[in-house]
Chain A
Amino acid sequence: MSVIKTITKPLVSSPERRLEADEDLVIVRKIQSGDVDAFDSLIFKYRERVYSVIYNLTSNREDASDLTQETFIKAFQSINRFKGKSSFFTWLYRISLNTSLTYLRKNKLRRFFSFEKMVEEDHTEGFIENLRTESDSDKAALMTELQERLNDAFQKLSVKHRTVITLFEIDGLSHKEIADIVGTSIGTVRSRLHYAKQFLQGELKDYIR
């Protein structure tokens, strides 16, 4: 029962979100009344965020680009079915998640790396401190390396846990917002988040301590 309530309640957890949702709804109504060009503004507004979510779920730039486009096309095609029960943002995120999950299931792109191999590699402590002291070119190299390690660690998580940690830590959404998007309870979101953090702390301990 509580899950159903969570899903059907509009996602307006802050005044900013409410304002954003209202603005989006005006644009959506325009599109629904035939002004298809108005959809461009929604693409421009959300393309980076949607891409970020999909990229962090798939860890593949090219696929993330295609899936982001697919997300917007799906939203465009079904915009007339959007009734405004949730915010456009929530609705769009659900589409992007479903698109990503379908893709991941179809392509089985979850890469699992050998933990032993990672331990053998020489990742010295104080990695982040090095980022501050190294030259720009070295910084870029270290950043690339860190990003790769992060991506690898992310790919070891299950899709459910990866989704929750992506939406919380990278996209900055609240527990409630994530629950609305994923379609689960806030408690489940917290539980998945806790598990995912524990796992990543273990995976990235060389960079943390």
Chain B
Amino acid sequence: MLFKKTFSPKDDERLSHLIQLKRQEKPDEAFWLKFDEEIRSKQLAALVRPQSWYDRVGKLSILIARKSAAATATASILALGIFTVSETDYFTGGQTTKSLSQTEPMLPTADDASAIDQPIFVVNDLHPQAEANEVDFSYGINATPSYEINALTKKSVPIDYQIISEPKQFTAGHINSGTDLGAKVIGTWSHF
């Protein structure tokens, strides 16, 4: 091969000088004027170039997600609301069952169940119950006892009842005031 022939360092230097003559191959000013003009228009085109398909798909996905965020949130709130409303009976029902266990004397029997379409009351003594082995004189013999009533309605016969109103307070001797709430008084007890 021709290029495998050995060359002296001087040859190497002359070759370098020869190659460096290529540095003289420079375009004139007119070339650069045209170059600047063309690159300017290409630069502007690059600034407004159409996006690639994957860029567009990505941005479209983000846009859809953003646009549907409000609708999704509304739907979620509605669904949550519906769920909460539909499950309200369940939650309050559970609490009522406990209250009823404390007021067993007021529970209607299965025979009465059909008659209990109207609300009834659960009456709770607001004074603390005395322990079995001690007597509570905190409110004295002549003190007027206070009671708390809850309107109840039937949920399922015979044992589940649901509290349908906030507790109302009244004092002994005015028990009929309970009927003001639209309830039928089915019994009174002197001691609670």
| A contact residues vs B (CB 8 Å cutoff) | 36, 39, 43, 47-48, 51-52, 55-56, 61, 65, 68-69, 72-73, 76-77, 115, 128, 143, 146-147, 150-151, 154, 165, 169-170, 195, 197-204, 207-209
Residue of A nearest to B7 (CB): A201
Q: Provide the bound-state CA to CA distance between A166 and B39, in Å.
A: 25
Give chain A residues whose Cβ lies under 8 Å from the Cβ of B5. 201-202
The answer for the CA separation of A52 and B16 in the assembled complex, in Å, is 17
Chain B contacts of A68 at CB under 8 A? 35
Nearest-neighbour CB distance to chain A for B18, whole angstroms, equals: 6
Distance in Å: Cβ of A195 to nearest Cβ of chain B: 8
A49 to chain B, nearest CB (A): 11
Are A147 and B25 CB-contacts (below 8 A) given A43-B39, A170-B20? yes
**Beta-carbon contact of B42 and A202 below 8 Å:** no
Would A76 and B43 be within 8 Å (CB), given that A61-B27, A170-B22 are in contact?
Answer: yes
B91 within 8 A of A: no
A203 with B3, Cβ < 8 A, contacts A56-B22, A143-B21, A165-B19 known? yes
Q: Which residue of A lies closest to B40 (CB)?
A: A40
Kindly identify which residue among B24, B27, B39 contacts A72, using a CB–CB cutoff of 8 Å: B39
A170-B22, A201-B11, A201-B12 are known; give 14 further A-B pairs, CB within 8 A: A36-B43, A47-B35, A69-B38, A72-B39, A72-B43, A76-B46, A77-B46, A143-B24, A170-B20, A198-B3, A198-B4, A201-B15, A202-B3, A209-B14
List chain A residues, Cβ under 8 A from B14: 128, 208-209
Tell whether, in the assembled complex, residue A208 and residue B11 are in contact, meaning their CB atoms are under 8 Å apart: yes
Binding site for A on B (CB under 8 A): 1-5, 7, 11-12, 14-27, 31-32, 35-36, 38-39, 42-43, 46-47, 49
A202 to chain B, nearest CB (A): 4
Q: Give chain B residues whose Cβ lies under 8 Å from the Cβ of A209.
A: 11, 14
Contact B21 A147, beta carbon cutoff 8 Å: yes
CA of A154 to CA of B20, assembled, Å: 12
Name the residue of chain A whose CB is nearest to the CB of B20: A169
Closest Cβ neighbor of B39 among chain A residues: A69
Chain A residues whose C-beta falls within 8 Å of the C-beta of B12 in the assembled complex? 197, 201
Chain B residues, CB < 8 A from A56? 22
The answer to whether A52 touches B18, judged by C-beta atoms less than 8 angstroms apart, is no
- In the assembled complex, the Cα of A52 lies from the Cα of B17 at a distance in Å of 17
Closest Cβ–Cβ distance, residue B14 to chain A (whole Å):
5
Report the minimum CB–CB distance from B75 to chain A (whole Å): 38
Contact A197/B26 with A69-B38, A72-B39, A170-B20 known, Cβ cut-off 8 Å: no
A150 touching B18 in the complex, CB below 8 Å, given contacts A65-B31, A77-B46:
yes
Given contacts A65-B35, A69-B35, A69-B38, contact A204 B15 (CB under 8 A): yes
- Which chain B residue lies CB-closest to A39? B43
For the complex, what is the distance from the CA of A55 to the CA of B27, rounded to whole Å?
11
How many angstroms between the C-alpha atoms of A165 and B36 in the bound complex? 28
The 4 closest A-B pairs by CB, nearest first: A202-B3, A202-B2, A199-B3, A169-B19
How far is it, in angstroms, between the C-alpha of A200 and the C-alpha of B17 when the chains are bound? 12
Residue of B whose beta carbon sits closest to that of A71 = B39
Query: Are B26 and A48 within 8 A (Cβ)?
Result: yes
For B35, list chain A residues within 8 Å (CB).
Answer: 47, 65, 68-69
B18 touches A128 (CB 8 A): yes
> CA separation between A172 and B12, bound complex, in Å?
16
CA distance in complex: A178, B183 (Å) = 99
Q: Distance in Å from the Cβ of A111 to the closest Cβ of chain B?
A: 16
User: For the complex, what is the distance from the CA of A165 to the CA of B18, rounded to whole Å?
Assistant: 12
| A15 vs chain B, min Cβ distance (A) | 24
- Chain B residues near A52 (CB, 8 Å)? 23, 25-26
